């Protein structure tokens, strides 16, 4: 039988805190962050094979941004809504993991504030 | 005289095939820290009990240089034998023969021994050590895998199926173990994954070792694919023998009873649990005060440690234990622990093993990750498994039984046969702090000293509801018992429910929230 190696913590379940140990898996769990509509993330791991927009471009909703090839399928990533391209975080030929930030967007109003 | 000549010829033929891939390949296998397929079978089975079949089976592939290539036993050894006298079917893939690769005939040897096991109503043990599909045979190899998976499914719940991963087990090959009841892995030897490190590196550029991706520890602790984890092959074989002795040959029988023994544990059952419900303890200490000789074979020891499941004996008969573990994550139910408990309950039900539930849990694990991982559908599996089970079901509430957790952990309402509570039990809709904050919200807010009022109201709630007597007064629990009486009471409850009969509406099968 395994002897616990880690330390006891105060663990809140509803209004009460319990002394307990954490599991390895719990300690390494992904912490949730509020997703921003202005960030385009990859939904599958793959390779960027084409980028069709440039930073600073105003791009119409539905226009192709880039092509992400994954599992022998060329996925066309489209503009989610009309906005400006703030920053492109990937390069053609780059291999990326699932959930990688590919493109950042901003609305034209933000432009005037800068 | 001529017959003797034939016998000698047979012996010679056998000796060649029994060498597997030959001396060089065997040397390589041993250099990798692995036993040979034949030695593994002999180490698991009783001495001189192994009988091999299909030794001379040959593949029929004619393409890609396979014509005329002889593969000893086509890379797999199959047969029957006994483990402590209990009959089993067994097969072992031989990595020394073309990397243990699976071709159609290799697969047909496996399906033949599986068919035997299903008809003979005895457990089937498969030892996996294979590079995967034999590419030269193409779709024939895929057909072979499919035929194995189909039989794994047909045999599920009829005979116990055990998979032992003693080498690589990658790609489609992983699904046979995944369909079986118990998967055994060994440190540094077992490797399981759908897509290996090479593919991941090609696609993602991410470098990861086989061990970090799908080694024994990963599957025993993180994924839950493996049920038993060992540091050596010999330790693994002992675990297999222990398990086989505790489970029945088939769903038509009960596990063999052995001579009853008293618990060995010298721990005082009344002193294991701290009186403060916020303090942890190891629930396995409680289990050991209850079982014969204090023996307990824990399943999934490392994965989802916030619930404990496993087998022990009481008065010589096998029982399954499901126990919240306050030592980890306060004993909360979450996605993984729900899967773990539900699966174990279904195994016990399928194989006529009574279930004893020890309850001490504050509820479900809070968190966005849990909600988004589907704790609703995972948690539902526990309700389903307990409700569906018709074996004797007994619950002991040790301490906390709050809210949804109280219902889930084999409550009377889900069909428990007997539920008892220790005087330390708190059976309530939620923890006292939470409940007082809601019920007495107004009084607390209007008080001059909010904290003092909150304390007062929490204490009021504890005095009134944080005990087993409200549930007892409604007949939801059958009795409040002294901890020291637990074993005697369990023995009695098991004894009177030996011939339990329960019926379920006629159906093809239920639709559990997989």
**Mutation for testing the A interface, residue in B201, B203, B277 having most A CBs under 10 Å:** B203
- Cα angle vertex B247, ends B246, B249, to 5°? 135
- The domains located in chain A, with CATH, are 39-113 (2.40.50.100)
Q: What are the C-alpha distances in Å from B232 to residues B8, B28, B90, B186, B310?
A: 38, 18, 20, 6, 21
- In the prediction, which pLDDT does B63 show? 86
Residue B235 exposed, middle or buried by CB count within 10 Å (0-12, 13-18, 19+):
middle
User: A11 contacts in B (CB within 8 Å)?
Assistant: 329-330
CB A15 within 8 A of CB B434: yes
A91 touches chain B (CB under 8 A): no
User: How far A58 CA lies from chain B's nearest CA (Å)?
Assistant: 31
B434 touches chain A (CB under 8 A): yes
- In the prediction, which pLDDT does B199 show? 85
A13/B328 touch (CB, cutoff 8 Å), yes or no: no
- Give the whole-angstrom CA distance, residue A99 versus residue B466: 46
Closest CB to A14: pick one of B277, B304, B430.
Answer: B430
A20/B326 touch (CB, cutoff 8 Å), yes or no: yes
**Mutation for testing the A interface, residue in B207, B235, B305 having most A CBs under 10 Å:** B305
Q: At a CB cut-off of 8 Å and minimum separation 6, what does B305 contact?
A: A23, B325, B327, B328, B329
> How many CB atoms are closer than 10 A to CB B316?
13
CA-based R_g, chain B, Å: 26
What pairs with residue B125 in β-bridges? B90, B162
- The domains located in chain B, with CATH, are 2-246 (3.90.226.10), 269-430+466-496 (3.90.226.10), 432-465 (no CATH)
User: A96 contacts in B (CB within 8 Å)?
Assistant: 204
A6 touches chain B (CB under 8 A): no
CB B107 within 8 A of CB B144: yes
Identify the residue whose tokens are 């390895």.
A24
Q: 3-state SS string over B27-48? A: HHHHHCCCCCHHHHHHHHCCCC
Task: Give the whole-number percent of chain A exceeding pLDDT 70.
Answer: 89
**B408 or A98, greater pLDDT:** B408
CA-based R_g, chain A, Å: 21
End-to-end CA distance of chain B: 64
Identify the residue whose tokens are 């489609």.
B172
User: B326 contacts in A (CB within 8 Å)?
Assistant: 18, 20
| Pairing status of strand B86-93 against strand B76-83 | antiparallel
B366/A14 touch (CB, cutoff 8 Å), yes or no: yes
Could you write out the DSSP letters of every residue in B340-407? HHHHHHHHHHHTT--EEEEEEE--BPPSHHHHHTTHHHHHHHHHHHHHH--S-EEEEEEEEEEHHHHH
B368/A14 touch (CB, cutoff 8 Å), yes or no: no
User: How far B337 CA lies from chain A's nearest CA (Å)?
Assistant: 12
User: B330 contacts in A (CB within 8 Å)?
Assistant: 11, 13, 18, 20
Coil, strand or helix at B263: coil
What pairs with residue A74 in β-bridges? A69
> How many CB atoms are closer than 10 A to CB B208?
14
User: B302 contacts in A (CB within 8 Å)?
Assistant: 2
Closest CB to B433: pick one of A15, A45, A46.
Answer: A15
> How many CB atoms are closer than 10 A to CB B496?
12
A8/B280 touch (CB, cutoff 8 Å), yes or no: yes
Residue B432 has which token pair? 């006292």
User: B331 contacts in A (CB within 8 Å)?
Assistant: 20
A80 touches chain B (CB under 8 A): no
B431/A16 touch (CB, cutoff 8 Å), yes or no: yes
Query: What is the model's pTM?
Result: 0.92
Residue B123 has which token pair? 């457990």
Residue B143 has which token pair? 């057909």
- Consecutive sets of 10 residues in chain B, 514 residues long: mean pLDDT of each? 88 93 94 96 98 93 85 95 98 96 96 98 98 91 96 98 96 95 98 90 84 95 97 98 98 96 92 91 97 98 97 98 96 97 98 98 92 95 97 97 93 96 92 87 90 90 90 95 96 96 94 92
CB B327 within 8 A of CB B285: no
Q: At a CB cut-off of 8 Å and minimum separation 6, what does B29 contact?
A: B35, B36, B95, B96
Is residue A3 pLDDT above 60, yes or no? no
Of B149, B227, B157, give the one whose Cα is nearest residue B192.
B227
- In the prediction, which pLDDT does B78 show? 98
Please tell me the number of Cα atoms within 13 Å of B360 on its side-chain side: 30
- In the prediction, which pLDDT does A114 show? 46
A22 touches chain B (CB under 8 A): yes
Q: If you average pLDDT over residues A102-114, what whole number do you get?
A: 72
């Amino acid at each position: 039988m395994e002897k616990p190696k880690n330390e006891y913590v105060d663990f809140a379940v509803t209004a009460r805190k319990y002394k307990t140990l954490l599991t390895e898996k719990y300690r390494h769990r992904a912490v949730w962050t509020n997703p921003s509509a202005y960030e385009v993330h990859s939904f599958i791991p793959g390779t960027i094979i084409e980028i069709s927009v440039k930073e600073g471009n105003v791009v119409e909703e539905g226009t192709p941004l880039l092509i992400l090839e994954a599992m022998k399928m060329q996925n066309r990533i489209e503009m989610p809504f009309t906005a400006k391209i703030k920053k492109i975080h990937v390069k053609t030929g780059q291999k990326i993991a699932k959930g990688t930030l590919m493109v950042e967007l901003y609305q034209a109003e933000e432009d005037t504030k800068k | 005289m001529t017959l003797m000549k034939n016998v000698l010829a047979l012996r010679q033929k056998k000796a060649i095939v029994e060498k597997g891939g030959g001396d060089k390949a065997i040397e390589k296998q041993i250099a990798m820290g692995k036993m040979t397929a034949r030695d593994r079978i002999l180490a698991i089975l009783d001495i001189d009990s192994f009988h091999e079949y299909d030794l001379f089976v040959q593949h029929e592939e004619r393409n890609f240089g396979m014509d005329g290539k002889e593969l000893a036993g086509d890379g797999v050894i199959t047969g029957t034998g006994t483990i402590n006298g209990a009959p089993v079917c067994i097969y072992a893939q031989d990595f020394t023969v073309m990397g243990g690769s699976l071709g159609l005939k290799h697969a047909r040897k496996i399906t033949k021994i599986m068919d035997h096991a299903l008809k003979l109503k005895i457990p089937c043990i498969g030892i996996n050590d294979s590079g995967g599909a034999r590419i030269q045979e193409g779709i024939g190899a895929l057909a072979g895998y499919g035929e194995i998976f189909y039989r794994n499914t047909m045999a599920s719940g009829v005979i116990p199926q055990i998979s032992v991963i003693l080498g690589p087990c990658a790609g489609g090959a992983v699904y046979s173990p995944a369909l079986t009841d118990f998967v055994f892995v060994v440190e540094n030897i077992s490797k399981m994954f759908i897509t290996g490190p090479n593919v991941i590196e090609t696609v993602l550029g991410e470098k990861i070792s086989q061990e970090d991706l799908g080694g024994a520890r990963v599957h025993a602790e993180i994924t839950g694919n493996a049920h038993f984890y060992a540091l050596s092959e010999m330790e693994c074989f002992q675990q297999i023998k222990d398990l086989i002795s505790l489970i029945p040959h088939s769903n038509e029988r009960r596990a063999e009873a052995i001579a009853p023994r008293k618990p060995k544990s010298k721990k005082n059952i009344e002193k294991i649990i701290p009186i403060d419900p916020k303090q942890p303890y190891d629930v396995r200490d409680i289990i050991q005060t209850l079982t014969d000789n204090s023996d307990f074979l824990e399943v999934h020891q490392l994965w989802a440690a916030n619930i404990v499941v496993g087998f022990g004996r009481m008065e010589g008969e096998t029982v399954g234990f499901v126990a919240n573990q306050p030592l980890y994550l306060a004993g909360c139910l979450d996605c993984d622990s729900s899967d773990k408990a539900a699966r174990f309950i279904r195994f016990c039900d399928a194989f006529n093993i009574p279930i004893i539930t020890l309850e001490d849990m504050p509820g479900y694990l809070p968190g966005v990750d849990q909600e988004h991982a589907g704790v609703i559908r995972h948690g539902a599996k526990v309700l389903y498994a307990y409700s569906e089970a018709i074996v004797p079901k007994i619950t002991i509430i040790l301490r906390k039984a709050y809210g949804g957790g109280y219902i889930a952990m084999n409550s009377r309402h889900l069909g428990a046969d007997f539920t008892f509570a220790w005087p330390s039990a708190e059976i309530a809709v939620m923890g006292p702090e939470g409940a007082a904050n809601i019920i007495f919200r107004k009084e607390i807010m209007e008080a001059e000293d909010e904290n003092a009022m909150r304390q007062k109201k929490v204490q009021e709630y504890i005095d009134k509801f944080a005990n087993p007597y409200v549930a007892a007064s409604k007949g939801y629990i059958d009795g409040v018992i002294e901890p020291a009486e637990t074993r005697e009471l369990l023995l009695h409850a098991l004894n009177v429910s030996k011939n339990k009969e329960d019926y379920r509406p006629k159906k093809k099968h239920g639709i559990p929230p997989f």
